[in-house]
Structure 1
Amino acid sequence: MTQYMHWLFTGYLFHSPTKLLFGLGIRKAIASEAPRFGKRALLIVDGNLASIGREISGYLEQGSVEVVVYDKIYGEPTIESVGDAAKHAVEIDPDVVIGVGGGSTLDTSKIVSALISNKMDIRDMFGVDRVPRKGRPLILLPTTAGTGSEVDRTAVVSEGHVKRSIISHNIAADIAIVDPELTVGCPPRVTAYTGLDTLTHAIEGMMSTASNPLVDALALEIVRIVDRYLRRAYYNGRDIEARFYMSFAATMGGYILSSTTMVYGHSISYTLSKYGVPHGLGTAFALPYAIKINIGVIPEKISRVAETLGIAERDPRRSSWRVVEWVQELLRDLGIPRSLKEMGIPKEDIKALAREMIETYPRPNNPRQLSIEETEKLYEEMWTGS
């Protein structure tokens, strides 16, 4: 318990603003939950999930809720795509916004909800606590097990090639309905990317200097679940036990995101998005490097992951390297590229990417701060996969 003694004197913060309904078949509860907010709903649904959208619309109609569907969600949110959705939302003026889909759809729904209630430019929301008023009532149903967006207070949107974050209690969902059955149709590649994103939330969140005992406890449980169930969900999408636990892990990861900060792994991923690298793939690829960056300063903390996995050694540094090896093996099993070269990232872009990581996506809560020279060396290693 000594690792937590300092919290007796400093205290810590844990955010959990969203009502959570979790379980197999729980999506049907939308019929009773949505009418509490009114009789007119805007259903924002991933453009590739028409059948799920129709099913959710049916439940809403059972609750005597009028449904207007917006399904122009393809890819990660941009200022333009969110602006188009918000324009339709303002015209519809719904009593409740309902988002159904992966992290991109859920983030879009959060921002749209906020823009209905806050007549402002989306750019003025960028940053922390810059959304003045609570958004229109919001219910989120994830169809992937990864981002945890359904329970966190963050949305990420692209402005050109730059990732911008909106962090505020006023964009958090009122209700999250997490039904693992909705993830059964998720293809293997997306299952891998989103599941590994959950793992990065756990390990990066735990490494952050803003972590706390509750974050650490959730993180270690996520590690246990991912180790046991992610491969199963990847190889057999209809393995409902694996889907159940991966959805559980993803939701816990969302709570981590609301209560601490990510470290350099997420910064690396953001620099790769301009090349069309999906967020989950980017964070997964970066995770071993994010761990290696911090082994020299927090080996005891990283070694707790090794203890959870049953691979710990007596020396905390060696245990931490075992964690790196475990992550690398998992990435290989799930078909994650081993290098930036394999991803098609031009070698001549390495120095610019390193500077972008340091200047555009700094991580003051990373235990070890990198110089520009160290970051350039890091990107060279990632390009070769060393």
Structure 2
Amino acid sequence: LGAKKPMIVTDKGIVDSGLLKNITVLLDEADIHYDLFNGVEPNPRDENVHRGAEMARNLQNDCLIAIGGGSSIDCAKGISIIATHGGRIQDFQGAEKVFGTPLPIITIPTTAGSGSEVTFSSVITDTKEKTKFSVRSTKIAAKVAICDPELTVTMPKNLTAATGMDALTHAIEGYTANCSEPIANALGLYAVELIFKYLRRAVAKGNDIEARAGMLTGSILAAISFSHSDVAAVHCIAEALGGMYDKPHGVCNAVCLPEIMDYSRDYCTSKYARLASAMSLQFSSEEEGAIAAVKEVRKLSKDVGIPSFTSFEIPESNFREIAVKSCENLSNASNPRVLTIDDYMVILKKLASK
């Protein structure tokens, strides 16, 4: 890349865990000076992006090294834009609104879930509006992604489960979205196969390097799948919950996935049956396979310890606002069954009853 003064973008958890030293020691050995921005928060905020961009401009950094989960990587993508373009990250909401050249990014994931290390999108929280929005541009895709399963072995069980179910959501929605195409279909199905093979193992035994490698591969394939397609209604609710209540994105996806699948099942029975095959399930008809796929996703979520929707403690009086924001999400149109506000209300009430 020809960069001489990188800035590391990460969060305090990565710094405290000691994982950062695995990378900084190599930079020190190569006599490469680096700066550190560790102000990334979960569900990265617009203010995180703006602070990081100001630091990068002031220090004249010429490259970003994003180390961590999807929050650090998404934040770095935002920083890369604002450091070179100025303005607010909200100005770049939507698709292909980045016309200049952002700072180049190297991504080093420490989780297996978001897949942001290989995508050209960034999801940021608007702190004033309490909503999430996407910035999509091929110009913010990482120049290099260093994906080492050894960096994921220290993830605790709950984070392994949540990020793994996040990857599963990407795979299923990328495959079943109305706008999916052959590349998305192929990669999504194989990602589902890998995740069902390895997620329980990775949760049960964190140092199972084969399981960790399988999950990291599944996460990457799932991310490429939805990049050639879209996410759908699960993400619509999850992003509303994340923006309004700052709930962990992976957990929100995991909680909502089985219910959305069940609600959409009759609109993509054939694809759901293919999902059942990827899960190594036996069935005698497509309808039977589709039903089995939903049940198996629900079982996996329970097996890896995903909490219930009721653990969020969201009053029913707030459901309509969640439903409205979910319906306004542009990815709602990609769901196999395009949902209305009333549909989302039905789903939220079902989630609250379990």
TM-score normalized by the length of structure 2: 0.95
Q: Which residue of 2 aligns with 1:70?
A: 37
For residues 322-341 of structure 1, the aligned pairs below 5 Å read 322-338=292-308, 340-341=309-310
Which piece of structure 1 moves more, 364-373 or 81-90? 364-373
Q: Which residue of 2 aligns with 1:242?
A: 211
The residue type equivalent to 1:307 in the other structure is: S
Q: Which residue of 1 aligns with 2:272?
A: 302
Q: Give 1:321 deviation, angstroms.
A: 1.0
Q: Which residue of 1 aligns with 2:142?
A: 173
Structure 2, unmatched stretches of 5+, are: none
Counterpart of 1:64 in 2: which secondary structure?
coil
Q: How many residues align?
A: 349
The residue type equivalent to 2:84 in the other structure is: S
Indicate which of 279, 285, 290 corresponds to 1:320.
290
CA–CA distance in 1 between the matches of 2:226 and 2:294? Answer: 22
CA–CA distance in 2 between the matches of 1:362 and 1:206? Answer: 14
Provide, for residues 171-214 of structure 1, a one-character-per-residue CA deviation record: whole Å limited to 9, x for no partner. Answer: 11111010111101111111111011000000011110111111
Q: Which runs of at least 4 in structure 1 moved beyond 6 Å after TM superposition?
A: none
Q: Which residue of 2 aligns with 1:187?
A: 156
Task: Decide whether the 8 Å contact of 1:265 with 1:286 is kept in 2.
Answer: yes
CA–CA distance in 2 between the matches of 1:265 and 1:239? Answer: 30
CA–CA distance in 2 between the matches of 1:64 and 1:362? Answer: 45
Tell whether 2:7 aligns with 1:42. Answer: yes
CA–CA distance in 2 between the matches of 1:351 and 1:136? Answer: 40
Q: CA RMSD in A?
A: 1.4
CA–CA distance in 1 between the matches of 2:272 and 2:38? Answer: 42
Q: Give 1:140 deviation, angstroms.
A: 0.5
Tell whether 2:104 aligns with 1:137. Answer: yes
Provide, for residues 306-353 of structure 1, a one-character-per-residue CA deviation record: whole Å limited to 9, x for no partner. Answer: 112222422212211101110111111111123x32331112212222
Q: Give 1:362 deviation, angstroms.
A: 5.1
CA–CA distance in 2 between the matches of 1:258 and 1:362? Answer: 12
TM-score normalized by the length of structure 1: 0.87
Indicate which of 110, 117, 120 corresponds to 2:87.
120
Q: Give 1:118 deviation, angstroms.
A: 1.6
CA–CA distance in 2 between the matches of 1:55 and 1:225? Answer: 27
Q: Which residue of 2 aligns with 1:269?
A: 238
Counterpart of 1:364 in 2: which secondary structure?
helix
Task: Decide whether the 8 Å contact of 1:341 with 1:347 is kept in 2.
Answer: no
Which piece of structure 1 moves more, 256-265 or 57-66? 57-66
Q: Which residue of 2 aligns with 1:221?
A: 190
Shift in CA distance, 247/85, structure 1 to aligned 2, threshold 3 Å: same
CA–CA distance in 1 between the matches of 2:85 and 2:255? Answer: 37
CA–CA distance in 1 between the matches of 2:219 and 2:353? Answer: 31
Shift in CA distance, 316/84, structure 1 to aligned 2, threshold 3 Å: same
CA–CA distance in 2 between the matches of 1:166 and 1:230? Answer: 29
Task: Decide whether the 8 Å contact of 1:232 with 1:242 is kept in 2.
Answer: yes
CA–CA distance in 2 between the matches of 1:371 and 1:144? Answer: 34
Counterpart of 1:165 in 2: which secondary structure?
strand
Task: Decide whether the 8 Å contact of 2:326 with 2:332 is kept in 1.
Answer: no
Indicate which of 46, 49, 52 corresponds to 1:79.
46
CA–CA distance in 2 between the matches of 1:326 and 1:252? Answer: 21
For residues 24-63 of structure 1, the aligned pairs below 5 Å read 36-50=1-15, 51-63=18-30
Shift in CA distance, 55/246, structure 1 to aligned 2, threshold 3 Å: same
Structure 1, unmatched stretches of 5+, are: 1-35
Q: Give 1:361 deviation, angstroms.
A: 5.1
* Identity over aligned pairs, percent: 31
Q: Which residue of 1 aligns with 2:339?
A: 370
